Structure 1
Amino acid sequence: MNNDKKVEERILSAKEDYNKIPVPEEMKEKLEAGIERAEAEIGRAKTEKWEDKEGMGMKKKEKTDKKKRLYRMAAAVAAAAALLVILPNTGADVAYAMGNLPVVGRLFQAVTFRDYQYESERFEANVEVPRIVVEDVGKGEMGKEEAGTGEKEAGTGEKEMGKEEGGEAEKGETENRDENVQQTVDEINFDIEQATSQLIEEFQESAELGESYGSLEIHHETVTDNENYFTLKLSMYRGAGSGFESYKFYTVDKRTGKRIQIGDLFQEDSNYNELLSENIKEQMRTQMAEDEGKVYWVDYEEVPEWSWERLKEDQNFYFDTEGNIVIVFDEYEVAPGYMGAREFTVQRALFEGILK
């Protein structure tokens, strides 16, 4: 009997237990209390006329300005109510069966954990600071351990010992991966918190002085979430007279749990940098030939030291839905400011043969 059949049987056999599991009273009370607090907050928000965030006074807002926040609160109430039904009914057998099903695109998730808004006559901020959370890390360990035990019972003699060792090896690999995942996520979240907190503090200092104009926009987006990779894009825009837009891309290899840079994708001595860089230069030259309004600092004879030559070791990148690599440059990195941030897609057919 194959593994898929075993998983299916466990799911079916767990059905009756799933429906019989009682709701722990303590959990029920906590969740219901959370729902009541959220509902009360919504009621207050509907009649609230003044706000004071991050220690700064804010002007009166119309009711329509609060719709976004009210929607988030309502969603929180719905989610908490759903937990009353879902959480108690996750029995051990169901957890085992679900843990052994292939999980694609659900291991990592980006959520907004800080929402900072500010508005005055001269300054405005709209900030959503993300945090990566990990689901299912370690969930497969129970299945791996039981699978190793099952193989042990089925085998005899040397065959039995070999299977047992194999099960232990798989369990060890899973534990190492889970440790890598948690460490990687902690490091990324710390980096995000540092970068965004610094920008918010600088904005607050300028707003308190009130001597100029300024804006701050920080948003996030999951740009890659496939079987092998997860990439979070952090977009940061600072405006003070003129604006400046920059990005941070965080890519995690789901198979190892480690954060990777672009060079980690390719075989050693593959000359990937030259291959991709030359392709991007050709795209730049083509765009300039087709549109005289476009300018890139490639073959730039006027100021040779400005000419872009090759990708950085920590170059921003992500995979698109077709498996192509998209290279991302910050504003002013490869072109004048009016060109903004730039992206170039390198077709997978060009580099597929040198991937690890």
Structure 2
Amino acid sequence: MKNLRRARERYDQTPTPPLLAGRVENALNATGPKPRRQLVWLRYTALATAFLCGVFVLSVNLSPAFASSVYAIPVLGEVARVVTFTEYSHQDDSGLISVKLPALQNTGNTRLERRINREIQQKMNARADEARSWARSYKDSFLAAGFTEEEYRPVETVIDYEIEYSGPDRVSFMIVQYTSCINYQEEHFYYNIDLESGEELTLKDLLGKHYREICDEQIRRQIEERKKDPQNSYFDGDMGFTSIRADQPFYLNEKQQVVVVFAKYAIAPGYMGVQEFVIEP
């Protein structure tokens, strides 16, 4: 995760040209309708100039020369391990990309490994196709808005992963995508796997049939506790927390506790960042 921290530091230290957001937005509006993906991002960021930019992922088997290194790092003990399957960086006139993608190995379940690893590769490749198109559109719109090449701030994208829990029967890990453009975005993708059954763990598996009531009650209580600090703020009504989703993101921490996660802007203002709630069974 060091790449993520370094990228954020570079973003914070780089000045943004004045009036950039409005001028680029106007140029983008003149180029035609926006794809559905951009509308989803605008909903959560409330910033018309947040774009998914500059991400692409290629497996080492498809492009070995493009990968800077491929190596195995055991992290899950005797039964299973997560390895860095692909690690590389690439730079062009639109920006810089740094990628480190995991793969699940040595679980004793080859079918499980293939399914999870294929899903990771396919998901990131699909996002890559979309992102490359937006990277070109963003730079074109930047220049069309009247800015110069010298004023252009290259997009930086980092994809990395982090092991949340490692045990002989369960694996929980997260893939993070960080993109800095005019502003910055983080997206998290969680994988919680039962190594014995080969299935992805659900909140119902971990908390029982009343998992929704358990999560909702504890999250509401923790929000009220956090709101006692005047520095903390949460949305109210329909914009705020009402109930967990059927596909609510979560992970297992090192104590095997369920941690329910809400993306930035989901239930609180952006300055509050990603919100996490530890749930007791």
**TM-score past 0.5 threshold:** yes
Amino acid at match of 1:190: R
Structure 2 match to 1:314: 247
The alignment status of 1:250 with 2:191, answered yes or no, reads: yes
Aligned partner (choices 180, 184, 189) of residue 117 of structure 2: 189
Q: Show the counterpart of 2:85.
A: 113
Q: 1:343 — aligned with what?
A: 276
| Residue 185 to residue 287, structure 1, CA distance change in 2 (3 Å) | same
Alignment of 1:68-83 (within 5 A): none
1:263 partner SS: helix
The alignment covers a number of residue pairs equal to 201
Q: Which residue of 2 aligns with 1:289?
A: 228
Q: Which sits farther off after the overlay, 201-210 or 328-337?
A: 201-210
- Aligned 8 A contact 2:170 2:192 in 1: yes
Secondary structure of 2:228 counterpart? helix
Shift, 1:226, TM fit: 1.6
Mapping for residues 323-338 of structure 1, pairs under 5 Å: 323-338=256-271
Using a 3 Å threshold, how does the CA distance of structure 1 residues 288 and 225 change in structure 2: closer, same or farther? same
Q: CA deviation at 1:225?
A: 0.8
The structure-2 alpha-carbon separation of the partners of 1:317 and 1:118, relative to structure 1 and needing over 3 Å to count, comes to: same
Match of 1:225 among 166, 180, 189: 166
Matching residue's letter, 2:133: E
Q: Which amino acid aligns with 1:322?
A: K
Deviation at 1:122, TM superposition (A): 4.9
C-alpha distance in 2 between matches for 1:266 and 1:283: 18
**If each structure's helix is expressed as a fraction of its own residues, which one has the higher value?**
1
Task: Return the alpha-carbon distance in structure 2 between the equivalents of residues 121 and 338 of structure 1.
Answer: 31
1:58-86 deviations in Å (ceiling 9; x for gaps): xxxxxxxxxxx5xx58x78xx9xxxxxxx
CA distance in 2, matches of 1:228, 1:253: 6
Cα distance in structure 1, aligned partners of 2:110 and 2:200: 11
Query: What letter is aligned with 2:91?
Result: E
Q: Is the 8 A contact 2:240 2:268 kept in 1?
A: no
**2: distance between equivalents of 1:105 and 1:262?**
25
Tell me by how many angstroms 1:264 deviates: 1.9
Pick the aligned partner of 2:214 from 275, 279, 288: 275
SS of 2:112's equivalent in the other structure is: helix
* Alpha-carbon distance change, 341 to 267 in structure 1, aligned in 2, over 3 angstroms: closer
Q: Which amino acid aligns with 1:242?
A: N
Q: Does 1:133 align with 2:89?
A: no
**CA–CA distance in 2 between the matches of 1:182 and 1:321?**
26
Q: TM-score, normalised by structure 1?
A: 0.50
Identity of aligned residues (%): 22
Does structure 2 retain, via aligned residues, the 8 Å contact 1:262–1:313? no
Q: How does 1:1-356 map to 2 (within 5 A)?
A: 105-120=77-92, 122-135=94-107, 137=108, 181-208=109-136, 210-211=139-140, 212=142, 213-268=154-209, 271-290=210-229, 292-297=230-235, 300=236, 304-346=237-279, 350-351=280-281
- Structure-2 separation of matches of 1:286 and 1:114: 42
Q: Whose RCO is larger (CA < 8 A, sep 6+)?
A: 2
For residues 228 and 267 of structure 1, the distance between their equivalents in structure 2, rounded to whole angstroms, comes to 18
Distance in 2 between the 1:251 and 1:187 partners?
13
How far apart are residue 195 of structure 1 and its match?
2.0
Tell whether the 8 Å contact from 1:125 to 1:216 is kept in structure 2 after alignment.
yes
Q: What is the alpha-carbon distance in structure 2 between the residues aligned to residue 184 and residue 222 of structure 1?
A: 18
The residue number in structure 2 matching 1:141 is none
Change (3 A) 1:129 1:322: closer
**How large is the RMSD of aligned CA atoms in angstroms?**
2.8
Name the CA shift for 1:315/1:233 in 2 (closer, same or farther; >3 Å): same
CA distance in 2, matches of 1:110, 1:323: 18
Give, in whole Å, the separation in 1 of the partners of 2:199 and 2:112: 6
